[in-house]
Amino acid sequence: MRTEIIEQAASKPAATHRQNEALISFDEAIGRVIELAKPLGTEKVALDQADGRYVARQVIAPFNSPATPMSAMDGYAVRDTDVARTPVSLQIVGKSFAGLGYCGEFPLRSCVRVFTGASVPRGTDRVVIQEKVQTDGSKAIFVESPSERRHIRNVGSDFLAGDVLVAAGCQLSPQRLVAAAAADVAELEVFRQPRVFIICCGDELSEPGQSRNRPGSIPESISFGVAALARRWGANVVGRARKPDELEELQAVAASAVELADVIVVIGGASVGEKDFAKDMFAPLGLEFVFNKVAIKPGKPVWMGRLGERIVIGLPGNPTSALVTARLFLAPLLTGMVGGDANVVLAWRKLPLTVPVDACAERETFLRARADVGGVRPLSNQDSAAQKAIADCNLLIRHRAGAPPVAAGTLVEAVTF
The answer to whether 388 touches 320, Cβ cutoff 8 Å, is no
As a whole number of angstroms, the distance between CA 366 and CA 116 comes to 55
As a whole number of angstroms, the distance between CA 149 and CA 136 comes to 25
Question: How many other CB atoms are there within 10 angstroms of residue 364's CB atom?
Answer: 19
The answer to whether 180 touches 190, Cβ cutoff 8 Å, is no
- What's the angle, vertex CA 273, arms to CA 268 and CA 276, rounded to 5? 40
Domains of the chain: 2-41+192-345 (3.40.980.10), 43-64+158-191 (3.90.105.10), 70-153 (2.170.190.11), 349-416 (2.40.340.10)
For residue 372, the Cα-to-chain-centroid distance in whole angstroms is 25
Question: What is this structure's pTM?
Answer: 0.87
Q: What is the 3-state secondary structure (H, E, C) of the chain?
A: CHHHHHHHHHCCCCCCHHHHCCCECHHHHHHHHHHHCCCCCEEEEEHHHCCCCEECCCEECCCCECCCCEECCCEEEECHHHHCCCCEEEEEEEEEECCECCCCCCCCCEEEEECCCCECCCCCCEEEEHHHEEEECCEEEECCCCCCCCCEECCCCCECCCCEEECCCCECCHHHHHHHHHCCCCEEEEECCCEEEEEEECCCEECCCCHHHCCCCEECCHHHHHHHHHHHCCCEEEEEEEECCCHHHHHHHHHHHHHHCCEEEEECCCCCCCCCCCCHHHHHHCCEEEECCECEECCCCCEEEEECCEEEEEECCCHHHHHHHHHHHHHHHHHHHCCCCHHHHHCCEEEEECCCECCCCCCEEEEEEEEECCEEEECCCCCCCCCCHHHHCCEEEEECCCCCCECCCCEEEEEEC
- What single-letter amino acid sits at 256? S
Question: CA of 369: how far to CAs of 45, 382, 389, in Å?
Answer: 38, 9, 10
- What single-letter amino acid sits at 93? V
Per-position pLDDT tens, the chain of length 417: 444 433 443 343 444 434 556 799 999 999 999 999 999 999 999 999 999 999 999 999 999 999 999 999 999 999 999 999 999 999 999 999 999 999 999 999 999 999 999 999 999 999 999 999 999 999 999 999 999 999 999 999 999 999 999 999 999 999 999 999 999 999 999 999 999 999 999 988 888 888 888 888 888 999 999 999 999 999 999 999 999 999 999 999 999 999 999 999 999 987 666 678 999 999 999 999 999 999 999 999 999 999 999 999 999 999 999 999 999 999 999 999 999 999 999 999 999 999 999 999 999 999 999 999 999 999 999 999 999 999 999 999 999 999 999 999 999 999 999
Residue 206 pLDDT: 86
Name beta bridge partners: 315. 267
Phi-psi region of 258 (alpha: psi -120 to 50; beta: other; left: phi over 0): alpha
Question: CA of 296: how far to CAs of 23, 167, 260, 325, 400, in Å?
Answer: 9, 37, 31, 9, 9
The answer to whether 329 touches 302, Cβ cutoff 8 Å, is yes
For residue 8, the Cα-to-chain-centroid distance in whole angstroms is 35
As a whole number of angstroms, the distance between CA 356 and CA 365 comes to 15
